[in-house]
Amino acid sequence: MPGRTLPTISLAEVKSHNSKKSCFVTIGRNVYDVTDFVDSHPGGSDLVLEYAGKDVTDILKDESSHPHSEAAYEVLDDSLVGFLPSDYLNGKTAPVPDGMTAEEWADSGYVHPATGMSCEEDLSKETDFNTDYKTHKFLDLSRPLFMQIWRGGFTKKFYLEQVHRPRHYKGGESAPLFGNFLEPLSKTPWWLIPVFWGPPVAYGLYLAREGFATGLDEFAFWGLGLGLWTLIEYILHRFLFHLDYYLPDNRVGITAHFLLHGIHHYLPMDKYRLVMPPTMFFVLAAPFWKLAHAIFYWDWSVATAVFCGGITGYIGYDLTHYFLHHQNLPLWYKQLKKYHLQHHFLDYENGFGVTSRFWDVIFGTELVDPVKTN
């Protein structure tokens, strides 16, 4: 099964690379960039250019032309740049059979064209830094990412295409972001979330308790805040973290997007850049404190209990998000894990619910099995 950190390339695009300046060939679904090899081909460049943009399976096996050594195949291995879509095989349509499951489709070699992946296991396949950079001309994972984004001069279209094509760095370690004293501040272990936010929530509920006749009343408003968080989670994820196509087409907007959420889609299995740093969430939470007290203006205790319920929901969200990426979970959570990871490897424009798919169903953004809609 191909390593799906490489892109899916259309047959039309392969055929367009048919000159000495850019020469692609295919073997089956594998696409190779042999531009650097054209002039050094033992049979002459004309023989290579005769098959530019075409499949070379037959000519490689044709000994009447000239035999090809193991070295020739090694050159091809080093030149692999992508794959033809699953519904093409040497230019012939090969539709996915009816009745296949998503897993069976993945096993058959399907690669999602936007993400370059087909299943959750692909998210944990090691990315070859050199090959990835040579192929995509985006970010070099061996160097600090921040200045590469800032100075890269990427268009919004190119940036969004690349940042939603997941990579995997050294078994889930953190790729260098700043490369200086700021580096530790960019990493947050999952356990810091309940440790940091748990005490303020408990203290807020303690202070709010004086304004309620019974603990049950306070619990009801806390529960209201918890329920509201599920909607806020959906709204933030869909309209802030994925404001993608409304993103300003400049380096300020692109860099801000990368730091806020883009890096998570680029390196989704990074264990220390998965939950939100407390300082960043504090900035996001402050307006909601004001909003809660503006809506429930008649009672400080009610507003505080609702806000604390919302923060409790956030704690549950961040922990759930981490465990969906990095832990084996009970059966119900396994389904939620599968659903969320599909948001990364299959369709990042849908599936915005993390703790639940409820609001995805309500607002029509639920992830759908692509086979069933084929």
At 18 the three-state DSSP class reads strand
Residues within the annotated binding site for heme? 41, 68
Residues within the annotated binding site? 41, 68, 237, 242, 261, 264-265, 321, 325, 340, 343-344
Run of H or E residues at 83: strand 80-83
The DSSP secondary-structure symbol of 47 reads: H
Q: Quick one: CA dihedral 129, 130, 135, 140, positive or negative?
A: positive
Q: Which two tokens stand for residue 48?
A: 């290579």
Decide: 241 and 276 in contact? Cβ < 8 Å: no
In sequence order, what are the residues at sequence separation of 6 or more whose Cβ sits closer than 8 angstroms to the Cβ of residue 154? 138, 162, 251, 254
First to last CA, the chain: 22
Residues within the annotated binding site for Zn(2+)? 237, 242, 261, 264-265, 321, 325, 340, 343-344
Nearest CA to 345 among 151, 14, 178, 119? 119
C-alpha distance from residue 25 to each of 37, 49, 78, 116 (Å) = 12, 10, 13, 19
Q: Which two tokens stand for residue 291?
A: 């909003």
At 119 the three-state DSSP class reads coil
Q: DSSP string spanning 330-354?
A: -HHHHHHHHHHHHHHHT-TTS---S
The DSSP secondary-structure symbol of 238 reads: I
